[in-house]
Structure 1
C-alpha cells in the first residue's frame, strides 16, 4: 500500500477511529462514579454504627441500615471490579469523630440516596438496576429515620 492510500483511508474514518488507529489515547478517563457511591456506603455504615455505639436505643432502627449499607458497598465494589479488575480493594471508612445521632445518619443517608439517583441517570442500562436499588434503599431509610 502506498502512503497516499493510507492517508486517504484515514481521512475517510471518523476522527475517533483515526485517533485509535494512530495509537493516540482518547483522553483521560474519568473515575468510575460507583467508587464514590461505595465510599459513601462505607461512610454511612460507619456513621450508623457509631450512632448505635453512642446510643444503644438506636440499635433497632440503625443496625439494619448498617447491614444494608455494608452490602451496598460490597455490591458496588464488585461492579467496579468487574469493569476494572486491577483496582485495589478499598480501605474501610474511619470511625466518625464525635457522637453522631439519628439526625446525622438520616441526613447522610438522604444525601447518599440523592447522589445514587443522580448517578443512575447517566449509567448504561446494565448498571442502572444496582444503583437505582441503592438510591431507593437510602431514600427509604432516610424517610424511616424521620
Structure 2
C-alpha cells in the first residue's frame, strides 16, 4: 500500500502558492466571523493527543522513547495555538485540560489520532489568512511526520 510522502517542506511549499487574496475572502476565522476560531479545535486536539500519548506511555513504558517526543510536541502545539487564539480574542477563558483517555491506548491509537490531527490542521491551514498559515502548517507537518514514524 503506497502512502503519500508529506514532508514538512512539501506542505509548507504547497501553502506558499495560496493566493494572498484568501485573507480577504472571509476565510480563516477570528476576524469578524460568528464562527468559532478554527484553531480552538486544533488546540483541543493537540491537548487530547498529548494526553493520549502520555497514557500510552504510562500503560507501556517501552513506548516512552517513541512517544515522549510526541507528548512534548503536541503540548507545545497546544500552547502555540492557544497563544494565537488569545492574540485575536484576549478575553477567551483558558481551556480545560484534556480528560484522560479511557482504557489503555497503544501505539496504533496514538498514530491514528495524530494522523487525524495532521489532516485536520492541513485542511484548516488552507482556509487561514497568511499570518496564521505558518503556525498551522507547521502543526500539520509535525503531526503527519509523527504519524509516519509511528506507522
Which residue, out of 84, 90, 106, partners 2:89?
84
CA separation in 1, counterparts of 2:53 and 2:136? 21
Q: Normalization by structure 1: what TM-score?
A: 0.81
Q: Residue in 2 aligned with 1:122?
A: 127
- 1:32 deviates by 0.0
- CA-to-partner distance for each residue in 1:23-44, whole Å, 9 max, x for gaps? xxxx971000000000000000
Select the structure that is richer in helix: 1
Size of the alignment, in residue pairs?
120
Larger radius of gyration: 1
Q: Which has the higher contact order (CA 8 A, sep 6+)?
A: 2
Gaps of 5+ in 1: 1-26
Q: Normalization by structure 2: what TM-score?
A: 0.78
* Aligned Cα root-mean-square deviation (Å): 1.0
In the alignment, structure 1 residue 56 sits paired with structure 2 residue 89: no
